[in-house]
C-alpha cells in the first residue's frame, strides 16, 4: 500500500511516471523473501485449490500476478498504465499470462469469463466502485470469486474504502463474503501498520 503522503493524492497519481520505482515499496515488489512468502501464503488461501483463470485488475507491475502464476493459475492482467503493463509483461515473461492496457472498471476481455477477479489497492480509487463490482461479478463463471485487497491508508489524511462499506456493496452481489483482517500482519507490509487493511473473498 502507498505511504501517508501518497494516500492523499492516489486518485490523481500519474501511474506511468511511478511505474519504474513502484516495486521499491516492500509490499509492491515483494522482493524480500519473508514479505513474498507472506503474500504467497495469503494468496494460496484466497485462490482456488485447482488451476484457475485469474483476472488481475489494476495489476501494476504484476507482483500478485506472478505469485498466482507460480501457484499454477492462468493470469490475465489489466492496467491503464502502459508502463505498468510493460513491467508486468517482463516480470511474467514465459509464464501463462497476458497483460492488456485498459480500464479496470471495464476490462477489455470481450466474452471471456474467469474463476477469480483479483484486485489489490485499486477499487477505492475508481469513480464508481459499486458499478465496477457489479461488472466484475458478470465477468465471473458460476461459483467464481472476487478477491479484493483494500484498506484505508494513512491516519492523517485517510484514503480508501473501509471493509464495512465494501461488504455492504457486496451484499446484494455475492453469496458468501469473508473478510480477513491484514493490519496485524506486519510481514505483508514490510513494517508495522496502524491503519485498516483487509482482504475480502466474495463467492458468487
Ligand atoms: C496501488 S497500484 C496497485 C498495483 C497492483 N494491484 C498491486 O497491488 O501491486 C494501483 C494500480 O492501479 C492502476 N489503475 C488505477 N486506476 C485504474 C483504472 N481505472 N483502470 C486500470 N488500472 C488502474 C494503476 O495504473 C496502478 O498500476
**Alpha carbon of 103 to ligand 1 centroid (Å):** 9
- Tell me, yes or no, whether 131 lies in a domain: yes
- Tell me, yes or no, whether 1 lies in a domain: no
Residue 8 above 60 pLDDT? Answer: no
- Tell me, yes or no, whether 183 lies in a domain: yes
The number of distinct structural domains making up the chain is 1
Grid coordinates belonging to 42: 495469503
**Using 50, 70 and 90 to split pLDDT, how confident is the model at 89?**
very high
The pLDDT tens digits of the residues spanning 185-197 come to: 999 999 999 999 9
- Tell me, yes or no, whether 83 lies in a domain: yes
CATH number at residue 25: 3.40.50.150
* pLDDT in the model for residue 157: 80
Atom of ligand 1 nearest to the CA of 125: 16
- Tell me, yes or no, whether 134 lies in a domain: yes
**Using 50, 70 and 90 to split pLDDT, how confident is the model at 1?**
low
Residue minimizing CA distance to atom 8 of ligand 1: 120
Q: What does the mean pLDDT of the chain come to? A: 94
Q: Provide the residue range defining the domain that includes 104.
A: 7-203
State if residue 84 touches ligand 1 by the CB under 6 angstroms criterion.
yes
Residue minimizing CA distance to atom 26 of ligand 1: 60
Pocket test for ligand 1, best of 60, 126, 135 (most atoms within 8 A of CB): 60
* pLDDT in the model for residue 31: 97
State if residue 58 touches ligand 1 by the CB under 6 angstroms criterion.
yes
**% of residues, the chain, pLDDT over 90:** 90
pTM of the entire predicted model: 0.95
Q: What is the mean pLDDT of residues 195-201?
A: 97
CA dihedral 187, 189, 37, 79 (to 10 degrees): 170
The pLDDT tens digits of the residues spanning 129-159 come to: 999 999 999 999 999 999 999 999 877 788 8
The pLDDT tens digits of the residues spanning 14-63 come to: 999 999 999 999 999 999 999 999 999 999 999 999 999 999 999 999 99
- Tell me, yes or no, whether 70 lies in a domain: yes
Residue 161 DSSP code: -
**Alpha carbon of 139 to ligand 1 centroid (Å):** 18
Residues whose CB falls within 8 Å of the CB of residue 83, separated by 6 or more in sequence, listed in order: 15, 16, 17, 19, 20
- Tell me, yes or no, whether 120 lies in a domain: yes
**Alpha carbon of 121 to ligand 1 centroid (Å):** 7
Residue 11 DSSP code: G
Q: How many CB atoms lie within 10 A of CB 139?
A: 19
**Alpha carbon of 60 to ligand 1 centroid (Å):** 5
- Tell me, yes or no, whether 2 lies in a domain: no
**% of residues, the chain, pLDDT over 70:** 95
**Using 50, 70 and 90 to split pLDDT, how confident is the model at 7?**
very low
Amino acid at each position: 500500500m502507498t505511504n501517508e503522503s501518497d494516500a492523499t493524492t492516489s486518485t490523481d497519481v500519474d501511474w506511468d511516471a511511478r511505474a519504474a520505482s513502484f516495486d521499491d515499496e516492500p509490499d509492491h515488489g515483494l522482493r524480500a523473501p519473508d514479505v513474498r512468502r507472506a503474500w504467497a501464503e495469503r494468496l494460496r488461501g484466497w485462490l482456488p485449490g485447482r488451476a484457475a483463470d485469474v483476472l488481475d485488475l489494476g495489476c501494476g507491475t504484476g507482483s500478485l500476478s506472478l505469485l498466482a502464476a507460480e501457484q499454477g493459475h492462468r493470469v490475465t492482467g489489466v492496467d491503464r498504465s502502459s508502463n505498468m503493463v510493460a513491467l508486468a509483461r517482463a516480470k511474467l515473461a514465459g509464464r501463462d499470462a497476458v497483460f492488456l492496457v485498459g480500464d479496470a472498471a471495464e476490462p477489455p476481455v470481450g466474452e471471456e469469463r474467469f474463476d477469480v477477479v483479483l484486485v489489490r489497492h485499486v477499487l477505492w480509487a475508481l469513480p464508481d466502485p459499486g458499478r465496477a463490482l457489479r461488472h466484475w461479478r458478470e465477468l465471473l463463471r458460476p461459483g467464481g470469486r472476487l478477491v479484493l485487497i483494500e484498506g484505508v491508508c494513512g491516519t492523517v489524511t485517510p484514503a480508501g474504502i473501509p471493509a464495512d462499506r465494501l461488504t455492504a456493496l457486496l451484499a446484494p452481489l455475492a453469496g458468501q463474503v469473508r473478510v480477513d483482517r491484514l493490519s496485524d500482519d506486519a510481514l505483508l507490509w514490510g513494517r508495522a501498520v496502524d491503519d485498516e487493511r483487509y482482504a475480502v473473498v466474495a463467492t458468487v
